[in-house]
Amino acid sequence: MAITATALSADLTASGLTMTVASGSGFPTAGAPSPANPGYLVRIDKEFMLAISQPVSGIIKLGMRGYNGTAATNHDLLAKVEVSSAAQDFADPAPGNVVSLPNYVPSMQTIGEDRTFTSAEIAAFGNQPQNFAITKATAAAITLVAPSKAQDGLTLVFTSLTAAAHVITATTLLADAVSGSPHTTGTFAAFIGTTLTLQAQNGVYNLVSQVGITVT
């Protein structure tokens, strides 16, 4: 078999058992009278789940969230969805691990629409590294609030998968080691691959590295 890729056409909550995808290809046959058992393996961001049926084209019923030791979490519009009827199509666990996506691997989230991170969301990251893939076709407006001092060392990586001039706003929080630092906005060049890496230190975000970012 093979992995088939599509994308979410609507947000999926951490407890949701019905998801909407751009294409139902690769999932259980649309309208089939019996659910797949045990189900087709699905990966979105850093979560595995099991798809058991497709009542109508593009509407997928899920039998289990947080499969294979992963955590059920929210997934944004346009998040990449990968599915296969053969679980072995996905990578085996690395040596020494019992699951394919152990908790120490950086968390991965898709940003497919404008996003404002609340204080509670930033605090919930703790010190776990976070990777964000921006898939919005037009410029995404992303807002960050300050991390706590307890989160020193937290790393956030934002990578654009679209040719759009996304803007991250973190008011007087972007410490970029030039006059006037800390600054407020990081504007992405409108190219795929533009990337911003931030590290929380002393309540601001130190700019560790950037490709194609203008900070002002």
- Contact at 8 Å (CB) between 54 and 79? no
* pLDDT greater than 70 at residue 108: yes
Dist. CA 48–CA 78, nearest whole Å: 17
Which range among 13-17, 101-105, 159-163 shows the weakest confidence by mean pLDDT?
101-105
Using the Cα atoms of residue 165, residue 166, residue 171 and residue 173 in order, give the sign of their dihedral.
negative
Compute CA distances 205 → 58, 128, 199, whole Å: 40, 15, 5
pTM for the whole structure? 0.87
89 pLDDT above the threshold of 80: yes
Instruction: Summarize pLDDT for 19-57 with one digit per residue, the tens.
Output: 999 999 999 999 999 999 999 999 999 999 999 999 999
Q: What percent of the chain has pLDDT over 90?
A: 88
Taking Cα atoms as reference points, which of 205, 104, 44, 145 lies closest to residue 196?
Answer: 205
Return the pLDDT at 91. 87
CATH 3.90.320 describes domain 107-215? no
pLDDT value at 7 more than 90: yes
